[in-house]
């Protein structure tokens, strides 16, 4: 994405607020946006086990963005692998569900980025002393959701840090989501697991003395709200709404409520590049 495109993407954004007039006519007429989200990735999105209510950072931010735009949110619980097809066929208007803004996804989507993330190795708390460094994971079996970029990223890390040093490769196990990876870790079926760095503090607080992180995140990536390539008007409206939330302090308030201030961005980024 060149700087001209980044500038064009925010051409209609004011410094103070965003009006519903900037939304596509179909959204204004409906008074709502249909948003793909799968609530199985706490603290980003999950269902309260007591009330079945949707909660999480993505939920709070999504509602705040919609309010800024003067519309309501209609959440669509869609499997991660079906989100992009659902967007491109018009079943939903956008994707807001802990999706990484990856170059290979930009052939189909445009992203308005809203936070930093990274792939993080972690092990069971009981085995933490076995893994003092990330390279102690070489040759071990590591579980991670097959629906994410983690398997490819872990294989690349292994090639550069294990095989290149003459150590055995990590054995990547694709699981049916992050919850399955955690279950296999607890059962001893894998030696370690990988999840987004934004989720680990929440898990460690929820389940005391259950997990231990190994080193720092080994990738750096933005999480983004995904829009169909043709839907530039809606993308730009959301970029403007996010800008307004950042300036008002509500963006920071939402992230602080989940203890994720370190994951905040310093401005508006579209497809991984700062918008000027």
CATH number reported for the structural domain that contains residue 59 in this entry: 3.40.190.10
How far apart CA 47 and CA 19 sit, in angstroms, is 31
Mean pLDDT of 237-254: 97
Alpha carbon 220 to chain centroid distance? 12
Neighbours of 67 (CB within 10 A): 14
Q: Between 13 and 145, where is the model more confident?
A: 145
209 and 229 co-located in one domain: no
170 has a pLDDT exceeding 50 = yes
Quick one: pLDDT at residue 6?
A: 45
108 and 129 co-located in one domain: no
Confidence at 147, pLDDT banded by 50, 70, 90: confident
Q: Between 8 and 136, where is the model more confident?
A: 136
Q: How far is CA 15 from CA 57, 126, 137, 167, 255, in A?
A: 24, 51, 48, 53, 21
Strands across the sheet with 94-95, in order?
72-77, 32-37, 94-95, 221-228, 109-117, 269-270, 273-274
- Decide which of 213, 236, 262 is a domain's last residue: 213
Number of domains composing the chain? 2
The token pair that represents 184 in the structure block: 């296999």
How confident is the model over 36-92, as pLDDT tens digits? Answer: 999 988 899 999 989 999 999 999 999 999 999 999 999 999 998 899 999 999 999
Pairing verdict, β 211-213 and 221-228: unpaired
How far apart CA 255 and CA 66 sit, in angstroms, is 17
How confident is the model over 82-141, as pLDDT tens digits? Answer: 999 999 999 999 999 999 999 999 999 999 999 999 999 999 999 999 999 999 999 999
How far apart CA 269 and CA 132 sit, in angstroms, is 36
C-alpha closest to that of 141 among 104, 180, 169: 169
11 and 58 co-located in one domain: yes
14 and 107 co-located in one domain: yes
56 and 79 co-located in one domain: yes
140 and 238 co-located in one domain: no
Helix (H) or strand (E) holding 256: helix 250-257
User: Exposed (0-12), middle (13-18) or buried (19+): which is 228, by Cβ within 10 Å?
Assistant: buried
Quick one: pLDDT at residue 16?
A: 36
Describe the chain by its helix, strand, coil percentages, rounded to 5: 40, 25, 35
Mean pLDDT of 16-30: 76
Q: Average per-residue pLDDT in the chain?
A: 92
> Is 157 in a helix, a strand, or coil?
helix
How far apart CA 71 and CA 68 sit, in angstroms, is 8
109 and 233 co-located in one domain: yes
Helix (H) or strand (E) holding 192: strand 192-196
100 and 227 co-located in one domain: yes
50 and 128 co-located in one domain: no
- Decide which of 193, 213, 233 is a domain's last residue: 213
How confident is the model over 186-239, as pLDDT tens digits? Answer: 999 999 999 999 999 889 988 999 999 999 999 999 999 999 999 999 999 999
8 has a pLDDT exceeding 70 = no
Neighbours of 53 (CB within 10 A): 11
146 and 10 co-located in one domain: no
Phi/psi region, residue 56 (left: phi>0; alpha: psi -120 to 50; beta: rest), is left
Quick one: pLDDT at residue 275?
A: 87
Q: For 242, which DSSP code?
A: H
Confidence at 20, pLDDT banded by 50, 70, 90: low
Mean pLDDT of 244-262: 96
10 and 81 co-located in one domain: yes
Predicted TM-score (pTM) of this structure: 0.81
The token pair that represents 173 in the structure block: 């196990």
134 and 16 co-located in one domain: no
Q: What is the domain range of residue 209?
A: 119-213
Mean pLDDT of 253-263: 94
- Decide which of 186, 213, 240 is a domain's last residue: 213
How far apart CA 167 and CA 54 sit, in angstroms, is 44
Place of tokens 């590591």: 142
17 has a pLDDT exceeding 90 = no
Quick one: pLDDT at residue 21?
A: 54
């Amino acid at each position: 994405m060149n700087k001209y495109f980044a500038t064009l993407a925010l051409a209609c954004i004011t410094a103070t607020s965003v009006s519903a007039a900037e939304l596509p006519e179909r959204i204004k007429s409906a008074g709502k946006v249909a948003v793909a989200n799968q609530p199985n990735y706490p603290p980003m999105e999950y269902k309260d086990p007591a009330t079945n209510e949707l909660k999480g950072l993505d939920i709070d931010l999504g509602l705040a963005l919609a309010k800024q735009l003067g519309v309501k949110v209609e959440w669509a619980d869609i499997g991660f692998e079906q989100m992009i097809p659902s967007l491109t066929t018009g079943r939903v208007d956008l994707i807001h569900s802990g999706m990484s803004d990856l170059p290979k996804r930009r052939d189909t989507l445009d992203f308005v980025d809203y936070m930093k993330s990274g792939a993080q190795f972690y092990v069971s708390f009981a085995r933490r002393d076995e893994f003092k460094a990330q390279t102690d994971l070489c040759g071990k079996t590591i579980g991670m959701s097959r629906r994410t970029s983690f398997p490819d990223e872990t294989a690349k890390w292994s090639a550069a840090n294990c095989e290149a040093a003459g150590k055995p490769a990590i054995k990547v196990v694709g699981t049916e989501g992050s919850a399955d990876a955690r279950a296999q870790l607890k059962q001893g079926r894998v030696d370690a697991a990988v999840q987004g760095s934004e989720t680990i503090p929440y898990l460690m607080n929820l389940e005391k003395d259950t997990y231990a992180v190994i080193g720092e995140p080994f990738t750096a990536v933005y999480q983004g709200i995904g829009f169909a390539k043709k839907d530039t008007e809606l993308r730009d409206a959301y970029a403007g709404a996010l800008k307004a939330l950042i300036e008002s302090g509500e963006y920071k308030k939402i992230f602080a409520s989940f203890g994720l201030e370190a994951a905040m961005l310093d401005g508006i980024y579209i497809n991984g590049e700062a918008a000027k």
